[in-house]
Structure 1
Amino acid sequence: MPKSRVRKKAVYTPPKEKPTPQMIKASGPSHPAYIGVMLGFMVLGLVWLVTNYLAGDKLGFMVALGGAGNGFNYNFLVGFGLIIIGLLMTMRWR
């Protein structure tokens, strides 16, 4: 049986400049206020949606946003928007 050809591998050449500690800027942990604001947005959105379901037809500002058969209910947009803002903030949290 014939022997298969051996492939030659390229010779490894290390990068010319290695990153030094001065070139790399380490990011520290997030400020505790950032975490509070992030969680606050998510909890506020959840509270907004629960309030809309439980008492949305009794609160004037929620009725004005489209509750009780006035067309599109913008309360869902507000509640889910607040939750999404909080979730997007989690991507920057360290």
Structure 2
Amino acid sequence: MPESKSRKKPAYTPPPASSAPKPNPRWWAPTMVTLMILGLVWVVVTYIVQSAGPIPDIGSWNLAVGFGLMMIGFVMTMRWR
């Protein structure tokens, strides 16, 4: 039976050293926490004053503003290092 040819593998070359992700700026974490707390306070105030504030002209959209602020803060947590 004929013998198969052996294949020569190229020498292992490790992948180039990747640089570690850069840390966030110093303002990142305080801004993230501030947005989440501000959104929570906005929603609580909206419920307490029954949609008459913090911006009375937009009515129930105050809830959307509060939840939007909180969501921006939560999205920032995904990029936090």
Q: TM-score range by the shorter chain?
A: 0.7 to 0.9
Q: How does 1:1-94 map to 2 (within 5 A)?
A: 16-21=12-17, 24-55=18-49, 56-57=51-52, 59=53, 62-66=55-59, 73-94=60-81
| Structure 2: tracts of 5 or more residues without a match | 1-8
Between the aligned residues of both structures, percent identity stands at 39
Aligned residues: 72
Deviation at 1:14, TM superposition (A): 8.8
Q: 1:7 maps to what in 2?
A: none
Name structure 1 gaps, 5 residues minimum: 1-12, 67-72
Question: Match for 2:57: what amino acid?
Answer: A
Relative to structure 1, is the Cα distance of residues 83 and 15 closer, same or farther in structure 2, using a 3 angstrom cutoff?
farther
**Where does residue 5 of structure 1 map in the other structure?**
none
How far does residue 15 in structure 1 lie from its aligned partner after superposition?
Answer: 8.5
> Normalising by structure 2, what TM-score?
0.73
Write the distance in 1 (CA, Å) between the matches of 2:35 and 2:26.
14
Runs of 4+ in 1 over 3 A off after TM superposition: 13-17
Amino acid at match of 1:62: I
